[in-house]
Amino acid sequence: MKRCSSCGTYAEDNAYVCPRCGAPLGAPQQAPQYARQVTAPPRQAYYQPEPACCERNNIVAGIFALLFGYLGIHYFYMGKISGGFICILLELVTCGVWSTVTFIQGIVFMCMSNEDFNRKFVQTSSTFPVF
């Protein structure tokens, strides 16, 4: 309720003039406005690469492929779990010939740059990246 400054009569909050004397009461009171409005950050619709903490070292993967390629350790290191099991299965089915392929993979891994290795083998959606 508003109070008229001329005659002291109370009026409704939305009244502009006093109902008794007709004196202007001023604008009706509004809810207080906040100085800063909080908005949600914009959604990003573009692809973001994985963070740097998930990158793998090409030299370590190459050493794993050279020494333990028949066990698929380099695939487990890259985060390709099903690829590691496929590597073990190929080793058993080919009676050891698959070790030659993993040896070549180790050499290829160590000859690549770390950025190319992560893009081609770690950050790919492929389950079993060979070359």
DSSP the chain: -EE-TTT--EE-TT-SB-TTT--B--SPP-PPPPSS---PPPPP-S--PPPGGG---HHHHHHHHHHHGGGTHHHHHHT-HHHHHHHHHHHHHTTTTHHHHHHHHHHHHHHS-HHHHIIIIISSS-SS---
The full set of domain ranges for the chain reads 1-28, 54-122
Distance CA 8, CA 124 (A): 78
User: Who wins on pLDDT, 102 or 8?
Assistant: 102
pTM greater than 0.85 (yes/no) = no
> Which pLDDT belongs to residue 34?
55
pLDDT digits (tens, 9 = 90+) for 11-61: 887 887 888 888 888 755 555 555 556 666 666 656 555 555 578 999 999
Mean of per-residue pLDDT scores for the chain: 83
Average pLDDT over every residue of 65-70: 95
User: Which residues are paired to 10 by β-bridges?
Assistant: 3
